[in-house]
A and B are shown apart, each in its own frame.
Chain A
């Protein structure tokens, strides 16, 4: 997928005037926020577990070479294969090579952000294969040729009406008089169609939430069960995973899993947590005959030893975006590539370069909610500031910013975005049950006071649009 991250300001403006999107954003993130809070409150040890999660991942990063080698030798010992890939292109070629060797035509896929990062679907398609996303949300957006708008709820920008329209267009054998106005019916329809695909598939590709050095296992955490059907029905199971997903032992996996489900969806545990180790064993009645792990670096190891090392602790739970006022105002697509929200603002510049993604670390209120909820305690705002410094050093910032208008100038000059963000921040803080005092201490307020008399460059139409929107609230 071609990034449009450089166009973040335009993307954001469009998102703000997209009424349908704004309706979704007014509800959905708050749902995640509440569920996470309930789950966290229910576990008295939650904060202590976060400390341990942080320390564990720091230890892993400090010993990454040892753990990766141990993982590889375990996978090999059990009859699996590890493919080391420096770049997205190497990973695409490795996967295509495996598919070709298997004479594959149909490839089913579980949800994997790394597979989005390497753009595997387009590549397989261009090479004559048929990749099929099987996670319901991913399936829907694949049919619509859209990128995901959230890392754990890829289609959350769509209504059931949108989904109905998509299915009617794609599932041509659907009788026109079949009523499809209930999510239950839509889910049943997708299930029926995808069951056939699962049976046809020659290769199944999943991601990995974790890899375990001790056992050579990969772990997926899902709710639908599609990731499991993806890996047990075809003859070949390919796991695509980035190097920082490794943890040392099964006990360490237990620690991360306690943090992951709660932070992501507010569940105590996801419906399915599956540990996969090697191919099927002699005498097994099912399971894949081949097991491949495509291990992707793609710029991650270059972050070790830099001010961005800590971002490699990320477990991709999505909590930072659920709590982010900017994400809450503009949604995921505005970020222009695979990873939206605060985590995207920190890793997209690393993966795409500051020139492409430099807007993102600027589009921040520095309210600190992301760091406050990040299960791995990643100092996301600090890292966004580091990117701003880099951007400054490289002379990439627009002239106005280079004159030192302050940290929130970019943001404050966009009143609509600013107000939307402030509202979101208040809502998020309210939902978190924190006092108003904390909000008053946010740098945001000062930033706005300081720059409020600046001319708003967006022009009249945008302001009018905003006034109209306000009238509706």
Chain B
């Protein structure tokens, strides 16, 4: 790999000369340590029940579909019926996520379930979420050994299990939860905020769903 240290020295040196600084600022180091919140819009600063309502409304607005379920045991039925309703094959690729282990897939023997990262042939995936952001109706998904990112993008249909308690108000709230995991200073390799299915406006400014990613995003909002 080419050595770019002289370019580094010159760029940083030039910046310091222009700014009249020598070795960086306390201000900046403090901001990094404290990570203060900026203005957070009032929209999502609500009671939790209202945040759940707002999440559902915003997600629906961007063409995701939201289905409420009483518990994880209802997921197999909901998935099977959703796929059948769209005339899609009853086959799903599921994230090998321990959080989804409680789902009794065997109650639906007609549903073909396999686990792992997405393959090109997979038509539908089921993944868990880390959070749902009410302000924008976005899902927050983390990569990890049990959560391959390809499941979020390769299949045509993406089904996401979101527990009610995972709904937060804003992106800032979601960051707080991630920081709360205690893996100080280390982000997962990929953090996806997903707001509706894939879309493009590149041909004559007409918005069409299903550009490169999933054309359908179905959210199972599960009571817990």
- Which residues of A approach B to under 8 Å, CB–CB? 27-28, 31, 43-45, 48-49, 52, 56, 59, 62-70, 74, 78, 81, 83-86, 90, 93-94, 97-98, 101, 134-137, 140, 153-156, 158-160, 163, 183-184, 186-188, 191, 194-195, 199, 213-217, 223-226, 228-229, 232-233, 243, 248-252, 254-255, 257-258, 265, 267-281, 283-287, 295, 297, 301-302, 304-305
Q: How far, in whole Å, are A275 and B142 apart by their CA atoms in the complex?
A: 10
Q: Is the CB of B203 within 8 A of A187?
A: yes
B205 → chain A closest CB, angstroms: 5
Do residues A83 and B202 form an inter-chain contact, with CB atoms below 8 A?
Answer: no
B112 proximal to A (CB < 8 A)? no
Q: Which of B1-41 contact A (CB under 8 A)?
A: 1-2, 4-5, 7-8, 10-12, 14-16, 18-19, 21, 24-25, 27-29, 31-32, 35-41
Which residue on chain B has the smallest CB distance to residue A48? B39
Please list 16 pairs of residues, one from A and one from B, whose beta carbons are closer than 8 Å in the complex, sorted by A's number: A28-B205, A70-B29, A83-B2, A153-B201, A184-B208, A187-B203, A243-B11, A248-B28, A250-B35, A251-B38, A252-B35, A258-B41, A269-B195, A272-B195, A274-B192, A301-B15
Task: Report whether over half of chain B's contact residues are helix, strand or loop; otherwise say mixed.
Answer: loop
Closest B residue, CB atoms, query A87: B7
Known: A90-B4, A251-B172, A281-B145. A225 touches B21 (CB 8 A): no
Q: B202–A136 contact, CB under 8 A?
A: yes
Given contact pairs A69-B24, A101-B1, A255 touches B188 in the complex (Cβ within 8 A): no
- Cross-interface CB contact of A274 among B135, B193, B196, cutoff 8 Å: B193
Which chain A residue shows the least CB distance to B194?
A272
CB of B214 within 8 A of CB of A56, answer: no
The docked-state distance in angstroms from the alpha carbon of A269 to that of B193 is: 9
Residues of A within 8 Å of B118, CB to CB, are 286
Q: How large is the interface on B (under 10, 10 to 19, 20 to 34, 35 or more residues)?
A: 35 or more
Task: Verify if B213 is at the interface (C-beta below 8 Å from A).
Answer: yes
B152 interface residue per 8 A CB criterion? yes
13 further A-B contacts with Cβ under 8 Å, apart from A59-B28, A158-B203, A223-B201, are A43-B41, A84-B11, A94-B2, A159-B204, A163-B203, A195-B120, A226-B212, A248-B35, A251-B37, A268-B136, A269-B138, A274-B191, A305-B18
- Please name all residues of chain B whose beta carbon is closer than 8 Å to the beta carbon of A255 when the two chains form the complex: 38-39
> Can you name the residue of chain A whose Cβ is closest to the Cβ of B58?
A268
The 0/1 profile, CB within 8 Å of A marked 1, for residues 64-100 of chain B is 0000000000000000000000000000000010000
**Given A65-B24, A86-B10, A271-B196, are A224 and B203 neighbors across the interface (CB < 8 Å)?**
no
Query: A228 to B32, Cβ gap below 8 A?
Result: no
Query: Assuming A94-B2, A229-B153, is B35 touching A65 (CB within 8 A)?
Result: no
Task: Decide yes or no: A44 and B192 within 8 Å by CB, A68-B12, A225-B153 being known contacts.
Answer: no
Contacts of A304 in B (CB 8 A): 14-15, 18-19
In the docked arrangement, what's the CA distance between A31 and B211, Å? Answer: 20
- Measured CB to CB, the closest approach of chain A to B109, in angstroms, equals 26
Q: Is B187 among interface residues, defined by CB-CB distance under 8 A?
A: yes
Bound-state CA distance A101–B197 (Å) is 36
Q: In the assembled complex, how far is the CB of residue A157 from the closest CB belonging to chain B, in whole angstroms?
A: 11
Residue pair B208, A187 in contact (C-beta under 8 Å): yes
Contacting residues of chain B (95-150) with chain A, CB-CB under 8 angstroms: 96, 116-118, 120, 135-138, 143-145, 148-150
The winner among B16, B190, B194, B195 for most chain A CB atoms within 10 A is: B190
Q: What are the residues of chain B within 8 A of A301 when measuring CB–CB?
A: 11, 14-15, 18
CA distance A278 to B187 in the complex (A): 9
Which of B12, B35, B191 has a CB less than 8 Å from the CB of A275? B191
Is there contact, CB below 8 Å, between A186 and B4?
no
Interface: B170 (CB within 8 A) = yes
User: Across the interface, which residues of B come within 8 angstroms of A223, CB to CB?
Assistant: 198-201, 211
B residues less than 8 Å from A85 (CB atoms): 4, 7
Known contacts: A83-B2, A187-B200, A191-B211. The answer to whether A254 contacts B43 by CB under 8 A is no
Structural contact, B195 and A271, CB atoms closer than 8 A? yes
Contact across chains for B32 and A226 when beta carbons are under 8 A apart: no
Which of A45, A68, A213, A271 is B32 in contact with, Cβ under 8 Å?
A: A213
Closest Cβ–Cβ distance, residue A61 to chain B (whole Å):
8
Give 6 closest A-B pairs by Cβ, nearest first: A225-B213, A66-B24, A224-B211, A304-B18, A137-B202, A63-B28
- Chain A residue, CB-CB nearest to B154: A229
Asked if A305 and B204 make an inter-chain contact with CB atoms under 8 angstroms apart, the answer reads: no
A203 to B125, CA, bound (A): 25
User: Do A215 and B211 touch across chains, with their CB atoms under 8 A apart?
Assistant: no
A251 touches B2 (CB 8 A): no
Q: How far is the CB of B64 from chain A (nearest CB, A)?
A: 10
User: Is the pair B7, A86 in contact by a Cβ cutoff of 8 Å?
Assistant: yes
Chain A nearest Cβ from B110, distance in angstroms? 27
Chain B proximity of A124: nearest CB distance (Å): 16
**Is there contact, CB below 8 Å, between B12 and A65?**
yes
Find chain A residues with CB under 8 A from B28 CB.
59, 63, 66-67, 70, 248
Alpha-carbon gap, A254 to B171, bound state (A)? 7
B91 CB, min distance to chain A CBs, angstroms: 19
Complexed CA–CA distance, A224 and B153 (Å): 10
| A78, A183, A272, A273 — most chain B CB neighbours (10 Å) | A272
